[in-house]
Amino acid sequence: MTLQALIFDVDGTLADTERDGHRLAFNAAFREFGLDWEWDVVLYGELLTITGGKERIRHYVARYRPDFVPPPDFDELVAALHQAKTRHYTQLLATGGIPLRPGVRRLLEEARQAGLSLAIATTTTPENVTALLRHSLAPDAEDWFEVIGAGDIVSHKKPAPDIYHWVLEHLGLDARACLAFEDSENGIRASLAAGLATVVTVNDYTRNHDFSGAMAVLSDLGEPGAPFQLIAGEAAGKSWVDVALLEAWHRRQAG
Ligand code: XBP
Ligand code: MG
């Protein structure tokens, strides 16, 4: 089976959006609502084990704020907080706040030229994906992706495989014709459970995660003149990820 599509996670994979993006937007929303909640860099790393912003807020209240008595309309409060967070986050992206990770633009462009389909599988809110693609990749970048699976369209977020199943179904492809790109343990658990060979690029929040089962674990996708570091797996002697390396990985996975 030939390689036909690449499926990308967003947060932490396309761009380092968590520490100086989502985290700041959550804090801005809390301030806007007069709450004294402040997620510092270390605490946010712990909170990232819970995927999804609304789920993360609920987890924080349950685990870290025993003093907070949830009002009867807590569900609405969480929804409103999360809407404000999305507004702050997309505003930050609109000012060009967050660049793509090394090699991402180059690989996406090369893959398109090679005729591979591109897709996205993420737990983040659809507006966040659109804003990142538009402002950090290209004004028309949404059109580069055949399928964008995001947020609440599935009821179980990563590490459940549901979002990957949804994307594969909409691509009309078997998992064996695709490669996934992830940055976190929850992410690779989801992609592997959907039967996808997965390439991992780590970041500061995820470098100590368990990436058992990954095709390769890299510092980043690398660029000519700025090689990746190979953390686990095999990379055919290459120092940046290109379509030829993806095809080699894909052949190896097919056995
Ligand atoms: C990472 C996440 C997201 C974001 C916040 O998603 O867990 O929840 O931190 O997004 P992925 P929302 O790596 O799968 O893209 O607040 O919009 O839920
Ligand atoms: Mg991620």
Q: Which residue from 122, 124, 162 has its CB within 8 A of the most atoms of ligand 1, so it is best to mutate? A: 124
Q: Low-confidence residues of the chain, pLDDT below 50?
A: none
Which residues line ligand 1 at a C-beta cut-off of 6 Å? Answer: 9-12, 18, 22, 51-53, 85, 122-125, 128, 158, 187
Question: Please, where in the chain does CATH 3.40.50.1000 lie?
Answer: 5-15+100-254
Q: How many CB atoms lie within 10 A of CB 220?
A: 21
pLDDT at 96: 84
pLDDT at 253: 87
Q: Which atom of ligand 1 is nearest to the CA of 125?
A: 17
Q: Which fold has domain 5-15+100-254?
A: Rossmann fold (3.40.50)
Question: Please, where in the chain does CATH 1.10.150.240 lie?
Answer: 18-94
Q: Which ligand places an atom closest to the C-alpha of 93?
A: 1
Residues with catalytic annotation? Answer: 9, 11
Q: Which residues lie across from 15 on neighbouring strands?
A: 11, 100
Q: CA torsion 74→77→82→84, rounded to 10°?
A: -170
Non-local CB neighbours of 16 within 8 Å, separated by 6+ positions: 98, 101, 203, 204
Q: Which atom of ligand 1 is nearest to the CA of 25?
A: 16
Domain boundaries 18-94, corresponding CATH code: 1.10.150.240
Q: CA torsion 46→214→125→78, rounded to 10°?
A: -30
pLDDT at 199: 98
Compute the residue count for the chain.
Answer: 255
Q: What are the tens digits of pLDDT across the range 20-48?
A: 999 999 999 999 999 999 999 999 999 99
